[in-house]
């Protein structure tokens, strides 16, 4: 009797297993490791129905693990990801063997000129696309993409949290946003900046004319949340017109964190209070995940070393060791 999968991806795993068995490419070790990956997802991402980059942290080589052992353990995940891409379930790139090595991703830090150029290109792109093809999809993109990317930039929300937002989660008067469906804590709250709130109010009014009484804040044409590839694809298209530097939409969240932390350099601050507030607003399960951003702000890191001295290594562990939750 075959062991059942437990995560929200169980149906997809079952289909993948059936295909592998039918083609004679299945064994006990393969089955064992894929179920361990499924258990990891069920435990850490219980509400997720799609593969995410964060889930693939499971594939990083462990400190006590040899490279060949790591490859053997994670090959089922790599093969499943290839299958998921072919079936249209995922927009993630297939994992090369080198992806199983322990490493720390360094996000791109946008300059103000880059951000200005990106948002200008985004605004122009959606208008051009709609003029070239007047369709409900291009109309929705015209309304949604400029607001979607600005919300990521100004709030520090995860891409999935923005895509899954319902209109009922947003108070369009106060600017309070309840993030109910997330990868970590069950629910947390953020407050929008006044300029972002005004933009969101205008957007909501425009969307009401196109899709009255919709459920989702950024719906597709069927009033369902966009798939992960929606934001990834359009960010890549727009960013490629601005720069040759490597960047992904998730880097806007990283920029939010680093911008906040860097601002503490010139102000008196009580470390634990500000860290706790930032950690909570970003939906981190624990403050350890927020510490990882300090290694991306060298100026503040040096200052903390001077101030914290002996406690520094305990207070701010190396990013590579903070893999419980990918920032």
DSSP-derived secondary structure for 12-81: HHHHHHHHHHHTT---HHHHHHHHHHHHHHHHH-TT--S--TGGGGGGSPPTT--HHHHHHHHHHHHHHH
Is 236 found in the same domain as 116? yes
Is 144 found in the same domain as 75? no
- For residue 29, is it within any domain? yes
- For residue 92, is it within any domain? yes
Is 228 found in the same domain as 258? no
- For residue 249, is it within any domain? no
Predicted TM-score of the model (pTM): 0.61
Q: What is the pLDDT at residue 10?
A: 93
**Cα(180)–Cα(203) distance, rounded to whole angstroms?**
21
Q: Domain range holding 34?
A: 10-100
- For residue 171, is it within any domain? yes
Q: What is the pLDDT at residue 187?
A: 74
CATH number at residue 219: 1.10.443.10
- For residue 107, is it within any domain? no
Which residue from 129, 24, 321, 26 is spatially nearest to 13, judged by alpha carbons?
A: 26
Q: What is the pLDDT at residue 242?
A: 94
**How many domains does the chain contain in total?**
3
Q: In sequence order, what are the beta bridge partners of 170?
A: 177
Q: Which helix (H) or strand (E) is 128 found in, with range? A: helix 112-132
Each residue's pLDDT, cut to its tens digit, for the chain (327 residues) gives 678 999 999 999 999 999 988 888 887 778 889 999 999 999 999 999 988 888 988 988 776 565 767 887 888 998 999 899 888 888 787 665 544 444 455 778 888 899 999 999 999 999 999 999 999 999 999 999 999 999 999 888 888 889 999 999 999 999 999 988 665 555 788 889 899 999 999 999 999 999 999 999 999 999 999 988 899 999 999 999 999 998 989 889 888 877 776 666 555 445 556 666 676 677 766 666 666 666 666 544 554 444 444 333 443 333 333 333 334
Specify burial of residue 130 (Cβ count, 10 A radius: 0-12, 13-18, 19+): middle
**Cα(316)–Cα(287) distance, rounded to whole angstroms?**
10
Q: Which residue among 74, 100, 126 closes a domain?
A: 100
Structure tokens at 25: 């490419």
- For residue 19, is it within any domain? yes
**Cα(203)–Cα(201) distance, rounded to whole angstroms?**
5
- For residue 293, is it within any domain? yes
- For residue 327, is it within any domain? no
For helices 136-155 and 228-240, what crossing angle results, to 10°?
Answer: 80
Is 221 found in the same domain as 177? yes
**Cα(43)–Cα(34) distance, rounded to whole angstroms?**
14
CB of 207 closer than 8 Å to CB of 200:
no
CB of 188 closer than 8 Å to CB of 283:
yes
Is 172 found in the same domain as 94? no
| Cα dihedral sign, 26-28-33-38 | positive
Q: What is the pLDDT at residue 323?
A: 36
Q: Exposed e or buried b for every residue in 148-186, given b needs 16+ CB within 10 A?
A: bbbbbbbbbbbbbbbbbbebebbeeeebebebbbbbbee
Q: Which residue among 53, 74, 100 closes a domain?
A: 100
């Amino acid at each position: 009797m075959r062991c059942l999968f437990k995560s929200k991806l169980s149906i997809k795993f079952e289909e993948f297993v059936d295909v592998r068995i039918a083609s004679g490419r299945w064994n006990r070790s393969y089955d064992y490791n894929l179920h361990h990956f499924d258990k990891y997802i069920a435990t850490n991402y219980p509400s997720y129905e799609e593969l995410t980059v964060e889930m693939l942290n499971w594939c990083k080589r462990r400190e006590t693990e040899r490279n060949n052992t790591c490859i053997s353990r994670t090959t089922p995940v790599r093969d499943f990801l290839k299958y998921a891409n072919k079936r249209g379930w995922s927009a993630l790139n297939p994992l090369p063997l080198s992806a199983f090595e322990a490493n720390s991703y360094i996000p791109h830090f946008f300059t103000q000129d880059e951000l200005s150029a990106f948002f200008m290109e985004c605004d122009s792109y959606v208008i051009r696309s709609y003029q070239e093809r007047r369709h409900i999809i291009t109309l929705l993109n015209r309304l949604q993409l400029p607001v979607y990317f600005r919300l990521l930039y100004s709030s520090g929300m995860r891409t999935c949290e923005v895509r899954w937002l319902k209109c009922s989660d947003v108070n369009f008067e106060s600017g309070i946003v309840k993030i109910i469906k997330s990868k970590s804590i069950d629910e947390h709250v953020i407050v929008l900046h006044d300029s972002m709130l005004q933009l969101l109010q205008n957007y909501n009014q425009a969307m009401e004319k196109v899709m009255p009484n919709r459920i989702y804040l950024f719906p597709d044409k069927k009033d369902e949340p966009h798939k992960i590839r929606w934001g990834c694809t359009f960010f890549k298209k727009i960013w490629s017109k601005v720069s040759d530097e490597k960047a992904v939409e998730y880097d806007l969240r990283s920029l939010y964190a680093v911008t906040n932390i860097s601002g503490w350099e010139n102000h008196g601050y009580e470390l634990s209070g500000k860290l706790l507030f930032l950690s909570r607003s970003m939906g981190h399960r624990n403050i350890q995940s927020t510490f990882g951003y300090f290694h991306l702000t060298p100026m503040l890191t040096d200052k903390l070393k001077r101030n914290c001295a002996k406690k520094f290594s305990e207070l701010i562990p190396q990013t590579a060791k903070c893999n419980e939750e990918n920032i």
